[in-house]
Amino acid sequence: MKTNNEYHVTYVGTNNFPKGLATVQRQTLIAKGLITNEVQCIVLSRFNTSTEKNRLGKGTIEGVEFITCSPLLYRHKSVLVRNLNKFAGFVIESLYIIRFKKKGVTNVLLSTRTSFIRTCYYRVLSWLLGMIYVVDINEHLSGVRGLPISVRLNHFLFEKSVLYLVDQLIVISEYLEKHYKSRTQKPIIKIPVICDVDFIKEVKTKSLSNEYVLYCSSAAYLESIQFTIDCFKQSQIKQDLVLIISGDKKNIQRIVKYIERLGLSDVVKVYSNLEYEKLIQMYKSAKALILPLPETEQHEARFPHKLGEFAASEVPVIVNDWGEVRNYFSQENAYIVPRYSVEAFAKCLRNAMEKNSVNTGARALAVATEYFDYKMIGRKVSIFFEKR
């Protein structure tokens, strides 16, 4: 059997690395876990879509070496320049993949879930270079409604072809594991949400004048954010509600207006663009962390990244019994809401504030330590590479 340091991983698929939401955070922690387990790993980001001009083209983040391949490190105003920059990023990324292929080791091309065309290209390139091609899938998007035809077609083609293109597959949930295992004999492993438990433990809590419960989300999930506000309003608890919202500014303004319309501006606070340590401090200083999951196929296949961070924060989590929650959480280590409804969440929120159980948060931390910590995940992924 090969030792871990006989592998070299070139990690591709995302743009904007190292800044980004759940997919980039997952990519960072998987890479960090591999490196901790003596697996050589470098991340390639094809181009950036941010207008921020002072970004690093290469460097190291949390011990993970990364390179942005495009010449321009920001989104140019000109469509022509943007397209030329993307094409240059594609060419340079390909050259880097060829360059980083090591002699005398097993080379792995590891990718996040990306477009159908990009997946096909990585398959061809990895085959030509004699590399193992592995894709990490963290969502099931082919059934999502309301998307443009071109996006739906991309998801459909990816879903139908991915098992023919990859050598191995990483999935984030039991739903996806069963979905793909029923169609192939290729190696598949479930890797849940990932977090840095030690880092989160070291962040200090902060005493605030008002106690609060907290919800964190992308602004794209407007329905879930409004659902959380409605639950808070109906619960009539004495604590404030803190919303940490990232993403589209127009959607954030819609949320602020919704809060104003309900007359809750004094007790519902909205924050965005927090530094990561400040974000974790806000988690750890809350009385409870709320995570309502719409009971849909898409959310059954997902495993929200923040749920791992919530658990590691040693603060009681309020979440409904859906999807991956069932595999890791129970009434012993969380406040489990029996169904996705405003009434059920409001009642559970009241109960949580009345009980104020310290043990619930401590047991959630134990779950995060056992199942979600990046060091353990890195070891599992490195061993998985041998199963081909």
CATH of the domain at 319: 3.40.50.2000
What's the number of domains the chain is made of?
A: 2
Sheet holding 132-137, edge to edge: 58-61, 64-68, 40-45, 7-12, 106-112, 132-137, 168-171, 188-190
**Claim to verify: residue 19 and residue 73 sit in the same structural domain:** yes
**Claim to verify: residue 143 and residue 203 sit in the same structural domain:** no
Domain of residue 226 covers 197-371
Question: 148 preceded by cis ω (within 30°)?
Answer: no
**Claim to verify: residue 217 and residue 358 sit in the same structural domain:** yes
Q: Which residues of the chain have pLDDT under 70?
A: 1-5, 143, 356, 388
Q: What is the pLDDT of residues 348-366, one digit of tens each?
A: 999 999 886 778 999 999 9
Q: What is the pLDDT of residues 96-140, one digit of tens each?
A: 999 999 888 889 999 999 999 999 999 999 999 999 999 999 988
**Claim to verify: residue 206 and residue 180 sit in the same structural domain:** no
**Claim to verify: residue 180 and residue 252 sit in the same structural domain:** no
* Residue 4: predicted pLDDT: 52
Measured CA to CA, the distance from residue 331 to residue 318 in angstroms comes to 10
* Residue 21: predicted pLDDT: 80
**Claim to verify: residue 147 and residue 260 sit in the same structural domain:** no
* Residue 25: predicted pLDDT: 93
* Residue 18: predicted pLDDT: 87
Tell which residue, 287, 331, 337, 334, has the closest CA to residue 308.
334
**Claim to verify: residue 62 and residue 201 sit in the same structural domain:** no
**Claim to verify: residue 167 and residue 282 sit in the same structural domain:** no
**Claim to verify: residue 340 and residue 237 sit in the same structural domain:** yes
**Claim to verify: residue 148 and residue 283 sit in the same structural domain:** no
